[in-house]
Amino acid sequence: MSVVSPRASGSSAPVGRRRLIDSARSSRLVVAVATAVILVVALVWDPDWRALRVVVSVLAILVAPAVWDSQRRVIRPAVAVMLALILMALIGPLFTRDPLMLSVGESLTGPSGDLWFGTDQFGRDIFARVIHGARLDLGVGFSAAALAVIVGMPLGALAVFRGGLFDSVLLRISEAFQSFPTLLLALGIVAAVGPSIPILIFIIAIVNVPVYLRLTRSAVAPIVNADFVLAARCAGQRELTILFRHILPNVRQVVLAQFSVNVAWAIQILAALSFVGLGVPVPTPEWGAMVREGYEQLVYGRWWVSVFPGVAILTTILTLNQLSDRVRHGT
C-alpha cells in the first residue's frame, strides 16, 4: 500500500505548520510597525537626535516580539510595562530636568502641565527624580539579583552533585542566614559597614544567595542521577562540565522565575533601607528616599511628594511578580 504525502496530493500544509508561519508573519509585522512608528515619532520630535533614533529603533526590533504574543494575538502587559520601565531608565534622563536642581520659588508646587509630578520641598522636579530613580533602583535590583544567581545557583547544584559533608555545610550556612529576617539582616550589615551603592548591591545579593542555593538544590536533586547525567559521566566528562552543560540548563526556568521575584525583593530592600536613612546617600534620587522625604507632607495635603515614587515602586514590584508567574507557567 502506497502512502501519498500531503505535498504530492496537492493538499495544503499541516495545521501546526500554518500556525507557525502565521505566528512568524505576525511577529515580523509587529516589529515592522513598531519600528516605523518609533522612527516617525523620533523624526517629528527632534530631527537632531540621530543617535537616539538608532538606539530606539534597535530596541524596538529586539523587544517587539517579546511584547506581542503571536499565538494568542494579544500584547503581554507585564512584558510591555517592564520593558517600558527599563527603556525609561535607559533614555528617560535625556529628556528630563536636572533632578538635583533646587528652585526655592517652585517648592511644593502641585502637578501641572509643566511639572507633571509637581515639586518637593526643595523645589526639585519630582518627575525628573522618579525617572532618574528608576535607573538606580532597577540597576541595583538587577545587579544584586544577578550576583545572587551567579553565586547561589552553582553552589546549590554543586551541593547535590557532591553531597556528603559539602552539602551539609552549605545547608547549615544557608539555614543560619535564613533564620534572620532578610531586611533585619541587611539593616545590621549596612549599619556596620556603612551605606554606598556597591555595598548595598553586595549586601542585598549576599542575603539572597541562600534562596538560590536551596531552590537550585531542590530542583537539581531529582535529575542528578538521570540517564543523561549518567551518560555524560560514562563519556568521561568532568564534573564541572556536566554541571554547567547538562544540569544547570534543566533548572533555568525555575531560577528565572525566582530571579524576577528576587529583583522585586532587592528593590523593596533598597527602598526600605533608604526609607530609614541607611540607603543611598542624599540627595541622590531614589524611590524609597523620596517616599521618606514626602511622607511628612501628607498631613498638609501635599500628597504628590511621596505618592508618585510610591506608585513607581508598586508598579515595578507588581510587574516583576507577574513576569515571574508567566515564566513559571511557561506562557
298-317 confidence digits (pLDDT tens): 888 888 888 999 999 999 99
Residue 279, C-alpha cell as written in the block: 540607603
The total of other beta-carbon atoms located within 10 Å of residue 78's CB is: 19
Place of cell 501519498: 4
Specify the pTM: 0.73
Place of cell 511644593: 108
Residue 81, C-alpha cell as written in the block: 510595562
What residues have CB less than 8 Å from 52, skipping those under 6 apart?
Answer: 42, 91, 94
**Does residue 75 or residue 245 have the better pLDDT?**
245
CA distances to 57, 85, 194 from 27, in Å: 16, 22, 49
State the average pLDDT over residues 221-248.
Answer: 79
CB 328 within 8 A of CB 253: yes
Across the chain, mean pLDDT equals: 76
The residues with which 75 forms a beta bridge, in sequence order, are: 68
In the DSSP assignment, the letter for residue 118 is: -
Select from 296, 303, 311, 304 the least CA-distant residue to 117: 304
Q: List % helix, strand, coil for the chain (3-state, nearest 5).
A: 75, 0, 20
- Do you find a cis peptide bond into 283, omega within 30 degrees of 0? yes
Which pLDDT score, from 0 to 100, does residue 24 have?
47
Q: How confident is the model at residue 222 (pLDDT cuts 50, 70, 90)?
A: confident
CB 26 within 8 A of CB 73: yes
Q: In this structure, is the dihedral angle defined by the CA atoms of residues 223, 225, 230 and 232, taken in order, positive or negative?
A: positive
Percent of the chain with pLDDT strictly greater than 90 = 3
- The helix/strand/coil state of 319 is helix
Report all structural domains of the chain as residue ranges with CATH numbers, in order of start: 19-329 (1.10.3720.10)
Which pLDDT score, from 0 to 100, does residue 313 have?
92
Residue 234, C-alpha cell as written in the block: 560514562
Q: In this structure, is the dihedral angle defined by the CA atoms of residues 155, 161, 162 and 163, taken in order, positive or negative?
A: positive
**Does residue 94 or residue 264 have the better pLDDT?**
264
pLDDT(190) > 70: yes
pLDDT(10) > 50: no
State the average pLDDT over residues 203-221.
Answer: 86
pLDDT(162) > 50: yes
